[in-house]
Amino acid sequence: MNEEGLVKLIPVILCGGAGSRLWPVSRELHPKPFMRLADGQSLLQKAFLRAVDLPGVEEVLTVTNRELFFKTEDDFREVNHGNRATSFILEPFGRNTAAAVAAAALRVAATHGPDATILVLAADHLIADQSAFAAAVKRAQELAATGKVVTFGIRPEAPETGYGYIEAEGDKVLRFVEKPSLEKAREYVESQRFLWNSGMFCFTAAAILREFKQHAKDILEATEACLAESRVAQANGWTQVELTASGFSKVREDSLDYAIMERCAQAAVVPCTIGWSDVGSWAAVSELAKADAEGNRVEGEALLHDVQNCYFMSQDRLIGAVGVEDLIVIDTPDALLVANRHRTQDVKHVYATLKARGHEAYKVHRTVHRPWGTYTVLEEGTRFKIKRIEVRPGASLSLQMHHHRSEHWIVVSGMAKVVNGDQELFISTNESTYIPAGHKHRLENPGVIDLVMIEVQSGEYLGEDDIVRFQDIYGRA
């Protein structure tokens, strides 16, 4: 119980995955949870706000990749106006949801006690009806208090082949079913015995650890050993548990559904209608925008002539379309997607091909987020690259050196504090400095406004891996 007499509720947000079906907006280092919707909020921010709005919440625990921590921190900082307690478990690489939940349950049991209730939420889902969601969570907490391991089943609106299903009688789980054929999905919906598997869960820490001991003891023990050797740190008022790569590599990869739920005799389900969507394809994203009389939806600027049932998204450029129908067109600064709106699940194949070829477009955007701010590649060619760099007030890049490239820095706005070899100097707007290859250097923003500068790189090799870090306040040295 907390001070208000409510059972402790610890939402655990699972933030990971590639979001390959939402390429080119979703990339490996900018996955689906960080997509901004029309209201300016990301899916991750919506998950956080959904969690802290529930009664009895003690803190929000987020499990995410180490590379995504600073981006996650930035998203939370924008919306965490109540300064709710927030902690993180940082994975060196993905091991699917069983390992993530095991780590979270062990951490919650250690910090809040085994009777604390855990609510597992995906970072990339939408829920339109918060009051119905809160009511469903309350019912799930009641079941969890009896030792049940609870999942949330969404009452299906139509036959859907992209979701798993749960066959249920009341709150009793009869069985879990894999993604069905369209014919089977129709049968499931017509029977009114099946629910969509939402991927959200509720249980006490003690109950889920009990199930791990019974059904996936190896995952639990390996995760526990990894936690024991991992670093716990406090930064910006938030607790971070950084899992070691050596320890986490010994944890078997599996989903919570396969490892636990399908084998659990204590599984229960809360059937609910909460306006849920996993936003799993561009067709699903398009449904969030308002349609015109011809069924077209536009985010950005587009001129349409004789166009029906299309979705256009453009961050910067004007789109012109003539005489087309049933298209999805997604325009980003470095990649364009054109797809039949009935084939949007297949976008993942484009992503997979890019990854197999080592093409950067699967991994990053032209604008890349770093702990200190962002950089945007404006232009590049043989032996040169031009970037726009933005450094937040008080932030600093690492003390570093490049073997193969020199850099010319020109300040556009703000003030830069620069280490250049043996020199330390301040550079104001319209001033510049030149850094030869092999020189140690560091860029810092000592001011109270953003530092904006243009960096011109030249050399035989301009890859981001040509960097030697000597000192770094973000632990990357």
Check pLDDT > 80 for residue 7.
Answer: no
pLDDT at site 450: 96
pLDDT at site 211: 98
Both tokens of 25, joined, read 């907006």
pLDDT at site 220: 98
Element (H, E) at 379: strand 373-381
Q: What is the DSSP letter of 25?
A: T
Which one is predicted more confidently, 166 or 2? Answer: 166
pLDDT at site 118: 98
Which one is predicted more confidently, 201 or 471? Answer: 201
pLDDT at site 2: 53
In the chain, CATH 2.60.120.10 sits at 367-471
Both tokens of 307, joined, read 């166009």
Q: pLDDT over 90 for what percent of the chain? A: 85
Check pLDDT > 90 for residue 464.
Answer: no
**Structural domain 367-471, CATH architecture:** Sandwich (2.60)
3-class secondary structure, 104: helix
In the chain, CATH 3.90.550.10 sits at 9-277
Q: What is the DSSP letter of 41?
A: -
pLDDT at site 371: 87
What b/e sequence results for 263-277 when a residue is b if at least 16 CB atoms lie within 10 Å of its CB, and e otherwise?
A: ebebbbbbebebebb
Q: What are phi and psi of 460, to 5 degrees?
A: -75, -25
Mean pLDDT, the chain, integer: 93
Element (H, E) at 219: helix 217-228
The mean pLDDT of 148-163, rounded to a whole number, is 92
pLDDT at site 161: 85
Per-residue pLDDT tens for 84-96? Answer: 889 999 999 999 9
Q: Are 433 and 423 in contact (CB under 8 A)?
A: no
Cβ-Cβ contacts under 8 Å for 459 (sequence gap 6 or more): 383, 402, 404, 405, 406, 437
Cα–Cα distances in angstroms (integers) from residue 161 to residues 15, 32, 117, 177, 185, in the given order: 24, 21, 32, 11, 6
Both tokens of 160, joined, read 């859907």
Check pLDDT > 60 for residue 396.
Answer: yes
H runs (alpha helix) in 358-403: none
The mean pLDDT of 267-293, rounded to a whole number, is 94
100 pLDDT band, cuts 50/70/90, is very high
Check pLDDT > 70 for residue 1.
Answer: no
Q: Are 455 and 389 in contact (CB under 8 A)?
A: yes
Q: What are phi and psi of 191, to 5 degrees?
A: -70, -25
pLDDT at site 321: 97
pLDDT at site 451: 97
What's the rounded Cα separation, in Å, for the pair 335 and 378?
Answer: 14
Element (H, E) at 293: none
Per-residue pLDDT tens for 125-139? Answer: 999 999 999 999 999
Q: Can you give the C-alpha Rg of the chain in angstroms?
A: 24
User: 10-14, 38-42, 44-48, 385-389 — which is least confidently predicted?
Assistant: 38-42
Check pLDDT > 80 for residue 3.
Answer: no
pLDDT at site 443: 96
What's the rounded Cα separation, in Å, for the pair 173 and 150?
Answer: 9
Per-residue pLDDT tens for 361-390? Answer: 999 999 988 889 999 999 999 999 999 999
Check pLDDT > 70 for residue 5.
Answer: no
Per-residue pLDDT tens for 401-432? Answer: 999 999 999 999 999 999 999 999 999 999 99
Check pLDDT > 80 for residue 475.
Answer: no
pLDDT at site 471: 87
pTM of the full structure: 0.89
Please give the single-letter amino acid code of residue 195.
Answer: L
Q: Which fold has domain 9-277?
A: Spore Coat Polysaccharide Biosynthesis Protein SpsA; Chain A (3.90.550)
Check pLDDT > 60 for residue 6.
Answer: no
